Amino acid sequence: MPVGWDLPPQQAARPQANGEPIAAPEPVPLDEAELTFFEGRAELAGVEVCKADNGVIWRILKFLNQSRPDGRPRGFPGQKIADDLNLERGQNGVADAISHFRNRTIEALKEAGFVADRETVIMTGKAGYQLNPALTVRDRQEVRGAQIVDDEGLSGEERQAWILAQLGEGRKLRRVDIEKHFDRSKATAKRDLGAIDDRIEFVGSGPTGYYTLSKTRTSKA
């Protein structure tokens, strides 16, 4: 099940002492979210929305990642997409693939606590299908077998030291903050957080939750 945040088991929804369940967090709107292409998968706001083994839609999604000279997404008729990708079912196959993708994406984002609709990722306009212009699209596809390092060549220990330093100054960090700061994947950010999980704690729930230094560690400082 795709998720949009890291929620430790102790933070999962559970009954309170009086037996009443903890209320689920309010859905979060996807305002100017980031669509990121990694090797073999695409994520929206940290939620996996497509994988290479999803078939035709993966090829369509990558094909739509084209921009006009003004930087806005380029639109394509269904038949143009089918012709360029050599799809046997033509524009009907493109329409079916995009329809299924929209339904799956809505469900995945809903499970992660986000508000989404059928045009959150792929819109239908006068020119045809295009990526939603409100999205920030980033391409982080890595060469297979290459070592994952950030642009400054920092090691995992150095990234983790930065995280602890930021938390020590009172900053509240989300996993996505770490991804953006180091320009790294969700998997890398999760590994860094996991390496220091005995010194940090997750506060709140869902996409609005954040990491702080462990209260036990703070009290001993």
Q: Which of these three, 140, 169, 192, is where a domain ends? A: 140
Range of the domain at 187: 156-220
Structurally, how many domains does the chain consist of? Answer: 2
Output the domain CATH number for residue 47: 1.10.10
Kindly state whether residues 131 and 207 are assigned to the same domain: no
Output the domain CATH number for residue 172: 1.10.10.10
Kindly state whether residues 135 and 36 are assigned to the same domain: yes
Q: Cα dist. 58→2, 84, 101, 145 in Å?
A: 17, 14, 9, 22
Residue 190 lies in a domain: yes
Contact 129, 122 (CB under 8 A): yes
Residue 150 lies in a domain: no
Strand partners, 42: 37, 50
Compute the chain's Rg from CA coordinates.
20
Residue 186 lies in a domain: yes
Q: Tens-digit pLDDT profile for the chain (221 aa)?
A: 343 334 444 444 445 555 555 555 555 566 668 888 888 889 998 889 998 888 899 999 999 998 888 788 999 999 999 999 999 889 999 999 999 999 999 999 988 888 889 999 999 988 899 999 988 888 776 433 334 444 445 678 888 899 999 898 888 888 888 888 887 777 788 888 988 989 999 988 777 788 999 876 544 44
Q: Cα dist. 115→23, 73, 83, 123, 159 in Å?
A: 17, 22, 34, 16, 32
CA distance linking residue 149 with residue 134, whole number of Å: 29
> What is the CB-side half-sphere exposure of residue 163 using CA atoms within 13 A?
33
Which residues does 142 contact at the CB level (< 8 Å), separation at least 6?
38, 39, 148, 185
